[in-house]
Structure 1
Amino acid sequence: MRTSTLGGTGVRVTELSFGAAAIGNLFRPVTDEAAYDTVEAAWEAGVRTFDTAPHYGLGLSERRLGAALRGRDRDTYTVSTKVGRLLEPEAEGGLGDDLVQGFAVPATHHRVWDFSADGVLRSLEASLDRLGLDRVDIALLHDPDHHAEQALTEAYPALERLRAEGVVKAIGIGVNQCALPARFLRETDIDVVLLAGRYTLLEQEGLAEVLPEAAARGRSIIVGGVFNSGLLTDPRPGATYDYAPAPAHVLDRALRMKAVTERHGVPLRAAALRFPLGHPAVASVLSGARSAEEVRDTVDQLRRTVPAELWDELRAEGLLPPHVPVPAARPEWSR
């Protein structure tokens, strides 16, 4: 599988990254065995970049990912985790579940927003313990939307020091909006932006500022949320977009895209996976999975040839702006 280097860091990422939220019981339970098999399937497919966070299942994602990677040569893979939410134990172990936050796990802990320098250190230390690793390669500020000033003035300098000391190799921000990462690209020396849902086949808000800023400054983008919460896997009434039912006009646009891709013999999800890699700033596409079968399907879709005529027809139908870059017809790593 093709790899790229994040900015000037030396950190290598595979063209497809594994998103570990689902193995943290996102929305519904996954067994330990299924979680292990999911990571194993990604490894067998050549994926060597794995993204997790304390937020995912109150640490369950980190624990399961670490267990699945244990025993492998640490220099052969890249791990990304996040800071900004500390996990604090609930009194008497907690009651109920964490589904209000999206995870089918017991509510043994609660999250505390903390973008202080001390919070960064405490978060990374706890993550390393859960992962069972002596280091992570990438540390990202996680959703600092409502904590921008503290993230800029306290958390970012702490990450910068950790990078200078070699504790982490790359630093950045992970968000699902564009204004804040554009500001970080302008005002800081971050290496990477994990941008979720804002540079997809369906919408290209990130092309206005974030991706050009990254390209101009030699920084990298990892694109997550390429299916816009599932809409681009199976557009139909009731499908979700940005974690809510898709508005009628958005659903109609997705259905029109599906009709075009299928006329060219390409599933919509295959075109959605390939699309972000057409931009030179995009180093990797991040996709989650909760089973080995989902991993294998994702890899199969990403390996498909997407003909240039498909992109041309999307443009002709007014479904893709003419200035948006598109990927080569045949992915390099399938040759």
Structure 2
Amino acid sequence: MTTRRLGRSTVRVGPLALGAAPLGNLFTPVDDTRAAQTVHAAWAAGVRHFDTAPHYGLGLSERRLGAALRELPRAEYVLSTKVGRLLEPLPRVRGDDLADGFAVPATHRRRWDFSADGVLRSIEASLERLGLDRIDLAYLHDPDDHAEQALTAAYPALERLRAEGVLGAIGIGMNQAELPARFVRETDLDVVLLAGRYSLLDQRGLAELLPLAAERGVSVVIGGVFNSGLLADPRPEATFDYTTAPAELLARARELQRVCAAHGVPLRAAALRFPFGHPAVAAVLVGARSPAEAADAGDMIDLPVPDALWADLKERKLLPDQVPTPKEAD
């Protein structure tokens, strides 16, 4: 499997990563057995890069992912998690965590903390939940309202951990492109995890972040290539950015699907391949909540996408002319 180095680090990743938010019961429950089977199905599909965070299910995702990965050879995979939210136990369970998107009991509360001490505590707690000896990659997680503390305290702490060899690579993970661009300009990050902002339906990441990352040698991992579901299966009830898709976006996704079908390509395959048109993109990250979804992602990313498909999408104005496609990158 072809791998790419993340920035100037020694960490190398393949084209597909498994996002473990669904294993933390994102929106609906997944049992322990299915969670483990999903990780093993991703492994069988060739995935060697796994991403989680304390936020996902109040630590449930980390615990489940760690349990599954402990059965696999540690030297053969890359594990990433995130810092910025500390989990503090509550004196008693207070309902569920669905207000934050996870179908788990509200056993803890999240406390934002981008201090240096908060970073160290977060990494230590994640290692304990994972039950593993190290984390390869740590991201600053969603510092939208904490930009200055993340820049002046959390980032230097991660930089020190990288220099000491505790972490192999460091990055920032967000659902927006503007603040990560600032971090790329002002720090020495290895990688940006950009969710939902570089897809067949949303290319906001191309305005500044992706060109800047390419210029500075920073890698980009693209999450949300299906925009939370619309580009996986454009049904009337499909979601875009985790809310019901507007009618105009649903119509656009269906047109994308029709053009792809005319070229013999599932929309999912085109959505997975599209980001690789940009030279800064090292991998795409896909969440899965079942073995079938994990296996499908592996199958889809391996499907060839003909050059004529990208040309057709531009001719029909379903992609802007200036957007780089895998054809143009080859």
Short-chain TM bin: over 0.9
1:134 aligns with 2:133: yes
Q: Which residue of 2 is the match for residue 313 of structure 1? A: 312
Give the counterpart letter for 2:193 in structure 1: L
TM-score calculated relative to the size of structure 2:
0.97
CA distance in 1, matches of 2:40, 2:74: 15
2:133 counterpart of 1:125: no
TM-superposed CA distance for 1:72, in Å, is: 2.7
Mapped partners of 1:302, 1:200: distance in 2: 14
- 2:185 aligned partner: 186
User: Displacement of 1:234 after TM fit?
Assistant: 1.4
**Residue 219 of structure 2 contacts residue 281 of structure 2 at CA under 8 Å; is this kept in 1?**
yes
> Match of 2:141, as an amino acid?
H
Instruction: Tell me which residue corresponds to 1:234.
Output: 233
- Asked whether the equivalents of residues 7 and 189 of structure 2 are also in contact (C-alpha less than 8 Å), the reply is no
Report if the CA contact (8 A) 2:190-2:218 is conserved. Answer: yes
Match of 1:46 in 2: 46
**C-alpha deviations, 1:24-64, integer Å up to 9, x for none?**
11111111110111100111111110000000010010001
In 1: Cα distance, 2:162 partner to 2:3 partner: 22
Deviation, 1:328, is: 4.6
C-alpha distance in 2, partners of 1:217/1:153?
20
2:88 aligns with 88
Residue 238 of structure 1 and its aligned partner are, at CA, apart by: 2.6
Which amino acid is 1:199 matched to? Y
- Counterpart contact for 2:200–2:271, Cα < 8 Å: yes
- Give the counterpart letter for 2:254 in structure 1: L
Classify 1:71/1:234 alpha carbon distance in 2 versus 1 (closer, same or farther; 3 Å).
closer
Offset from partner CA, 1:207-253 (integer Å, 9 cap, x none): 11111111001110000000011010111323211111112222221
Provide the residue aligned with 2:276 in structure 1.
Answer: 277
* Off by >4 Å, runs of 4+ in structure 1: none
Q: Which runs of 5+ in 2 are unaligned?
A: none
**How far apart are residue 196 of structure 1 and its match?**
0.2
Q: How does 1:68-107 map to 2 (within 5 A)?
A: 68-92=68-92, 94-107=93-106
* d(CA) in 2 for partners of 1:18, 1:24: 13
Q: Which SS does the other structure have where 2:222 is aligned? A: strand
**Alpha-carbon distance between aligned partners in 2 of 1:42 and 1:23, rounded to the nearest angstrom:** 13
Q: Which residue of 1 aligns with 2:253?
A: 254
Distance 1:72 1:236, change over 3 A: closer
Q: Counterpart in 2 of 1:20?
A: 20
In structure 2, distance between residues paired with 1:182 and 1:97: 35
Rounded to whole Å, the distance in 1 between the matches of 2:230 and 2:71 is 37
User: What is the one-letter code of the residue matched to 2:291?
Assistant: A
Q: Secondary structure of the residue that 2:173 maps to in structure 1?
A: strand
Query: Could you tell me which residue of structure 1 aligns to residue 263 of structure 2?
Result: 264
Tell me the equivalent position of 2:214.
215
Residue 264 of structure 2 aligns to a residue whose secondary structure is coil
TM-score for the superposition, normalised by structure 1: 0.96
* Aligned-partner Cα distance in 1 for 2:314–2:302: 23
Query: Using the alignment, how far apart are the partners of 2:254 and 2:47 within structure 1?
Result: 30
Counterpart CA distance in 1 for 2:2 and 2:95 is 44
Partner of 2:167: 168
Question: Quick one: distance in 1 between partners of 2:36 and 2:234?
Answer: 30
Indicate the residue corresponding to 1:64 in structure 2. 64
Report the residue type matching 1:53 in the other structure: A
